[in-house]
Amino acid sequence: AVAVQRGGMVIAVERDAGRTALMRTNLRRLGASQVKVIEGDFLALDPLAEPQSHASAILVDPSCSNSGTLEHPQAPGRARLQRLSSFQEKALSHALSFPHVERVVYSTCSTHEEENEAVVAKVLKQFPGFRLERTLPFWPSRGSGALA
């Protein structure tokens, strides 16, 4: 919010045309003119191109098993979890490759360690300039605690 108040912008990337249209409609309704919506694949977004090359913060909200939602009570199969975590690793790695990024938030609605702690731990090994920051210190444990 502070960055936007200082003349910054928010870039939202969504590859699904229906969700992109809905996002644009909602943003117009809210008067959020500082949000640029890009319909496309985040993994294909060039970190060195304008305007995203100046991004200092990125929220990565990748596709996941949705196991933490009421709509998806069934556990996904092992193969699906592996496909999802592979994609999630690519998305998080891509976000960390932007030249001016200082903060990346990784968020899923999954309860599976393979989609959360394991993804973050694996990717952070490839990007030693970044570190994990506890954002909910009053919440003693989420998942296995592998990143505690």
64 catalytic? Reply is: no
Q: Cβ contacts of residue 110 below 8 Å, gap of 6+?
A: 64, 65, 66, 67, 68, 84, 116
What's the Cα-to-Cα distance from 26 to each of 39, 102, 109, rounded to whole Å? Answer: 15, 28, 22
DSSP 35: E
Catalytically annotated residue among 32, 35, 57, 109: 109
What's the Cα-to-Cα distance from 87 to each of 8, 58, 138, rounded to whole Å? Answer: 29, 17, 30
Please give the positions annotated as active site.
109
